[in-house]
Amino acid sequence: MMFVRQKNNKSGSTRVVVVSKDKGRYKLVKTMGSSSDPQEIDNLSRQGEEWIRRKSGMADMFTYAEGKDREDDLCKTGFSKEGRHKNPQIILGLMEN
């Protein structure tokens, strides 16, 4: 499983990388870049998430992040297997009789 990670550098800038986790160990897969500008850091993070989607050939169907930055009745902030815990996600449920 791959996900985007932000790491603080000694210089004060933030490095955005794509990492994978296998058998409890993290492995650097790709460095997206570094910046001190919060908007650029967000942009690098989005580029990393897009790179993961292209590389894996699939999208996270449970995270509805495009143009959606707040919760509503169907979208709540919660768990994301891609590490995007701050984004609203579609809530699915199963009803049985």
Phi, psi torsion values for 53, nearest 5 degrees: -60, -45
Whole-angstrom distance, CA of residue 31 vs CA of residue 44: 10
Each domain of the chain, given as residue ranges in start order, spans: 1-59, 60-97
Whole-number Å distance between alpha carbons of 59 and 71: 20
How far is residue 91 from each of residues 83, 84, 88, measured CA to CA in Å?
Answer: 17, 15, 9
Enumerate the β-bridge partners of residue 7: 15
> How much is the pTM?
0.58
How high is the mean pLDDT in each 10-residue block of the chain (97 residues)? 92 94 89 94 93 73 52 61 61 66
pLDDT at 86: 61
